[in-house]
Amino acid sequence: MEKESMEFNVLIEQDEDGIYIAKVPEIQGCYTQGKSIGEVLERIKEAIEVCLEGDQENINPLKFIGIQKVNVGKPIFH
């Protein structure tokens, strides 16, 4: 079977235990984790393929603009 090449934005974060978490914002529920950047990148490629096979909708990758951290105050309850 021939495959069309598609490019997706992948967001990679690290949790408090040092595990890397990769998410694909364009595909709802498409995420994975790994112990290294290399491992999480390999796993997210597999996850994307599985999500694309299971999703009958036409998924169109979004244009990457940038990432910005936003600081928001959290209410303190006494």
Which pLDDT value is given to residue 5? 84
Residue 24 lies in a domain: yes
Residue 4 lies in a domain: no
Contacts 24+ apart (CB under 8 A), 38-42: 40/12, 41/10, 41/12
Q: Which CATH number fits the domain that encloses residue 46?
A: 3.30.160.250
C-alpha–C-alpha distance, residues 34 and 42, integer Å: 9
Please tell me the total count of domains within the chain.
Answer: 1
- Domain span at residue 40 reads 11-54
Write the single-letter amino acid at 58.
Answer: N
Q: Give this prediction's pTM.
A: 0.77
Per-residue pLDDT of the chain (78 residues; tens, 9 = 90+): 577 788 999 999 999 999 999 999 999 899 999 999 999 999 999 999 999 887 666 787 888 888 888 999 988 888
